[in-house]
Amino acid sequence: MIRVLIADDHNVFVEGIESLITGAPDIKVTERCYTVQSVIERLGQAAVDVILLDISFPQVDDGLGLCEHITRSYPKTKVVALTMHDDASLIKRVVKKGAKGYLLKNTTKNELLQAIQTVYHEKQYFNDTIMHILLNEGPKTRKSTAGVGVKPNLTPRESEVLTLIAQGLTTQQMATQLFVSAKAVEFHRSSLLLKFGVPNTALLIKSAMEMHYID
């Protein structure tokens, strides 16, 4: 019997998934969690084989962090990411955090059950839709060279500057806030444009939002 934990802050989803799973002979939903905190608590108390994890939980960063934590602390427990987001960039990030499977929320019952059984048997599960998305987004990012659709790796400083740009600050204001010269800020902004492959800050924000760097 495969023990499944459902982690999603959307009530309807938890019910829906459980409803889809009900009837499968070898799978049982043993835990339902609506917050990151409760997931951590339950994992400390009850053994779980597979976690169906909504990445937006409630924010994408939370889900990614939780995914990383789970795969580190409980390597035997397999994480299947379950989201609405169908962008390659997010899929790659999720996989990097240790998820063994990735499903869109418009998945079918069969796919869901198959995914649970596949990851339970130490294999990865990515269906055709996911593979198609990944393949159509060009080569996987190795270093962080420019390229459309490739998720760049940002340095800490770049992340800071990106956040401040998203708050509407000018170069001068950022420089003041970060205690560096305007030229330093300009440099990081340029690096961001290069890494994201965009011509200006407007598209930088758009791209960063689509790739869930900011929100």
Point out which residues bind its own copies (CB under 8 A): 9-20, 34, 56, 82, 84, 105-109, 112, 165-168, 170, 198-206, 209, 214
Residue that is written with structure tokens 């444009």 in the block: 193
Of 114 and 163, nearer to DNA (C-beta) is: 163
Region for 212 from its dihedrals, namely left if φ exceeds 0, alpha if ψ lies in -120 to 50, beta otherwise: left
Q: How far is the CB of 47 from its own copies (least distance, A)?
A: 25
Of 1 and 202, nearer to its own copies (C-beta) is: 202
At 177, give phi and psi (nearest 5°). -70, -35
Q: Strand ranges (DSSP E) for the chain?
A: 2-7, 27-33, 50-54, 78-83, 101-104, 125-126
8-state DSSP, 153: P
Q: How far is the CB of 160 from DNA (least distance, A)?
A: 8
8-state DSSP, 58: S
For residues 23 and 97, what is the distance between their CA atoms, to the nearest angstrom?
Answer: 31
Q: How far is the CB of 11 from DNA (least distance, A)?
A: 40
Of 20 and 169, nearer to DNA (C-beta) is: 169
One-letter identity of residue 155: T
- Binder of residue 188, out of its own copies, DNA, none (CB less than 5 to 8 A by kind): DNA
CB distance 1 to 47 below 8 Å: no
- Binder of residue 16, out of DNA, its own copies, none (CB less than 5 to 8 A by kind): its own copies
Q: How far is the CB of 111 from its own copies (least distance, A)?
A: 9
Q: How far is CA 81 from the centre of its chain?
A: 8
Of 79 and 192, nearer to its own copies (C-beta) is: 192
Of 6 and 198, nearer to DNA (C-beta) is: 198
- Binder of residue 145, out of its own copies, DNA, none (CB less than 5 to 8 A by kind): none
Angle between helical axes of 88-96 and 128-135 (0-180°, round to 10): 110
- Binder of residue 37, out of DNA, its own copies, none (CB less than 5 to 8 A by kind): none
Taking every pair of Cα atoms in the chain, the longest distance, rounded to a whole number of angstroms, is 64
In the complex, the residues that contact DNA under the rule CB under 7 A are 143-144, 153, 155-158, 170-172, 175, 178, 180-181, 183-184, 186-190, 193, 199-202, 204
